[in-house]
Structure 1
């Protein structure tokens, strides 16, 4: 090559470099960096035996290592670039992006039926905006995870177990801010409850099942001077009568056959200087009522099988859904105990007496249940809301929560419609106007309509499958859909 040819080659090389630099400058710097990082992550994580995945803010899969692709049962090239819900329709990553909160060691069942323990982590920029999410499978086999947990349990000491138990028991989770409702009766109940918080007197909470008596007990303790001391709960109806005394007051070593070596501390001792919540007090046996009365009067008791006196300073918050005065007349509840407990009485109104609170309760419960279920349902149609407000709610707030949880599981959108509500609830308004008995024809038509709608939802609108599942002809299905106005 002569000198002139060499100069031409150098000149062409310089021109190529200039074009390359110009193109590189035109590219988005973040894109270059991201592609470089993803390339590096592929090299790092692909050989690792731990399933690993990277998603961008649009929930599209940017990187997945081979072991994770094999775990999901897809080739890598079919996964990259797809939204995560197309690969695993049960994925909670869209929810993680929405809440901006990581999920650590969650149990997750993938679309292919595999159940595993997973991490879902977020990567944010300096402004707090989530740019990426990272997923890792910790245990591909749930049995493997269970075996490790079991081994760890064997290594734990009894003292450590007691500490964990005490930590769970000693905290009141709810405050006045977490109790929903501003209707007149609810506002009055909260006013009395706050007054009870500021005193040191015993409290008796009355109300139907499902009205939120335990929430008020938590709030009363949290609002009192005892809020930094233990809050211990016990359900008088859930514990057999022969075991209730030892649960409340503890027992000494060798007190009875099967007693734990060294004895056991009771709930009243655990609650010393704090509060004890005695739920379902109306179901407490008469023998135990006498012992409880002594604790309230003398602030002392003896452990089962013991002779020494144990002094305690405990505030009692009791609750019941029963008529204690009627139980007194029947000889099932001690009158002297009733007056010891009935110092500050708080009556929680049933939901049918506070319809003005239903909308606020629905909003709160939808948010709570969406978090629990991983389903993003935040709206409810006006007609569905109308049915909720028109219902009598014999099960109170607990029934409302169950109805909403059922509806969230049935809907495929972010809105609850009347069809997602139970039949007994949607028909209650008709029963009010039509009288207690409806024509059999109307009942059958309502049931038939609901069956068709649910089957169409199940088959994603496939009318041929729907007709086969309902065991009717396709023309008959079309006729019924037209008659009932089903689109």
Structure 2
């Protein structure tokens, strides 16, 4: 009714929207599917520091280069209460909501600034600190009790070794047998543990994680088995339930099992054999139903020979043994894994980066990745922080990667002229990519004349 009256009065859509939204004291913006600004109220224009006339009709990323509306349009998912740093230096809490038609296609994007600075947001949080603390406590308890965060979809890789590992893990998930995950640090053993629990008939029951190397030896017993009231000095009133009891009906993931003290290994063996746990300071046993998923980057057979790991426990754990390949052994997975991590990191960091240049990918594929997937993830996170566009270029990669590639197979000796030309071609190609095709800037960076650069571009087919 109001809309019909406004239209009947002869107002344009823009002026009508301005009359509706300008009096609202909350920054609001409406963006078209082409990412151009259709409407922005005066409060938001003042916040950005530009006249409305310069904003209306512009692409949203020209108004604020850090805008995530293109990312929201691509994913068709709202971003609610996101922390966002604007180009003018202000950090605020914002909503970004895609408006879809009946076919699920994007029509508009609606944006709103909830808090115009983070300090304002912090004040609100401070006033509700008690409620936030209690909520955080309940969330942590629920997270610990509830289950795994990852599934098979999160395990990326189609190389032969990875396909074999996933096949074994899927088979293990369908059983109640103990699982031993073997592999170097950073290969994704915890990811497999989550997926095995998620894919099992225990997935509605707890998934409890324990890092055996991170808990001091003197505390590990009470953490794993719990204790009774008065069991030792400083024991909580009423005692404490242990990790094994918490995981009853579900799975317990014992990471870095090779670092578990011998004394704890004996108790763990009893739990696996008898399916019962005894709290510290108690003479009563409690029956439990658990499946143990253990992981290590050590050679357990070697530890057994050294007397540092119980042989009987090793065979009890080693029912379903799965070896997770290193990234060096799954060369064909590097590109797909890189883009999967790029999407994940881009979303987490609030920065829209979706591309890796051909040259940058060559360097990534050429690296040996001794730190495996964890190292690759760290390198990509660094690159996202450095890039100012939606692409990762060689210049954004660490020097140790761009200067150290895999050895080339032996072959015929090449002439010095050929080697020099190849080097020159690569240098020009990389510089053109860095300058986004700006030949004047490229010539200056390479310290050659523009005419010489044009000749070389034509010679090497780089146009």
Above 0.5 in TM-score?
A: yes
Q: Note closer, same or farther for the CA distance 1:184–1:125 as it changes in structure 2 (3 Å cut).
A: closer
SS at match of 2:292: strand
- Contact map agreement 1:253 1:263 (CA 8 A) in 2: yes
Bigger mean CA offset, 233-242 vs 420-429:
420-429
Give the aligned partner of residue 206 of structure 1.
Answer: 182
Deviation, structure 1 residue 156: 6.0
Corresponding position of 2:415: none
Partner of 1:24: none
* Structure 1 residues 344-375: Cα deviation after superposition (integer angstroms, max 9, x where no partner): 11111112222222233234333333333432
Cα distance, 1:32 vs structure 2: 9.7
Q: Give the match for residue 118 of structure 2.
A: 142
Q: Does 1:180 align with 2:148?
A: no
Q: CA deviation at 1:478?
A: 4.8
Residue range with higher mean Cα deviation, 48-57 or 208-217: 48-57
How much does 1:255 deviate?
Answer: 4.4
Distance 1:463 1:147, change over 3 A: farther
SS of equivalent to 2:227: coil
Is contact 1:61-1:83 (8 Å) kept?
A: yes
Post-superposition CA distance 1:161-183 (Å, at most 9, x none): 55422332322233334322232
Which aligned pairs between 1:72-83 and structure 2 lie closer than 5 A? 72-83=48-59
SS at match of 1:143: helix
Aligned to 1:69: 45
> Where does structure 2 lack aligned partners over 5 or more consecutive residues?
1-6, 411-418
Q: CA offset at residue 420 of structure 1?
A: 3.7
Distance 2:315 2:176 in 1: 16
User: Residues of 2 paired with 1:154 and 1:261: CA distance?
Assistant: 23
Q: Which residue of 2 aligns with 1:129?
A: 105
Counterpart in 1 of 2:143?
Answer: 168
Distance 2:21 2:270 in 1: 67
Indicate if the aligned counterparts of 1:377 and 1:408 stay in contact, CA closer than 8 A.
Answer: no
Distance 1:352 1:113 in 2: 42
Question: Which of residues 70, 90, 108 in structure 2 aligns to 1:114?
Answer: 90
Residue 4 of structure 2 is matched in structure 1 by none
Q: Specify the alignment match of 2:301 in structure 1.
A: 325
Partner of 1:310: 286
Unaligned runs of 5+ in 1: 1-30, 435-441, 468-473
Give aligned pairs, total: 436
Contact persistence 2:84–2:94 (CA under 8 A): yes
Please tell me whether residue 215 in structure 1 is matched to residue 202 in structure 2: no
* Matches of 2:43 and 2:278, distance apart in 1: 61
Counterpart position of 2:165: 189
- Structure 1 distance, partners of 2:97, 2:138, is 30
Give the superposition deviation at 1:316: 0.4
Residue 273 of structure 1 is matched in structure 2 by 249
The counterpart of 2:218, out of the listed 234, 242, 265, is 242
Please identify the structure whose Cα radius of gyration is greater. 1
TM-score, with length taken from structure 2: 0.81
Q: The residue matched to 2:125 in structure 1 has which SS?
A: helix
Whole-angstrom distance in 2 between the partners of 1:307 and 1:113 = 63
Do the aligned residues in 1 keep the contact of 2:210 with 2:255 (CA within 8 Å)? yes
The alignment's TM-score, normalised by the length of structure 1, stands at 0.78
RMSD of aligned residue pairs (Cα, Å): 3.7
Task: Determine whether 1:155 maps to 2:155.
Answer: no
- Structure 1 runs, 4 residues or longer, greater than 6 Å off: 31-35, 458-464, 479-482, 484-487
Deviations for 1:446-473, whole angstroms, at most 9, x for unmatched residues?
9xx99xx89x969997999x99xxxxxx
Deviations 1:97-133 (A, max 9, x none): 2211110010111112211111111222233222221
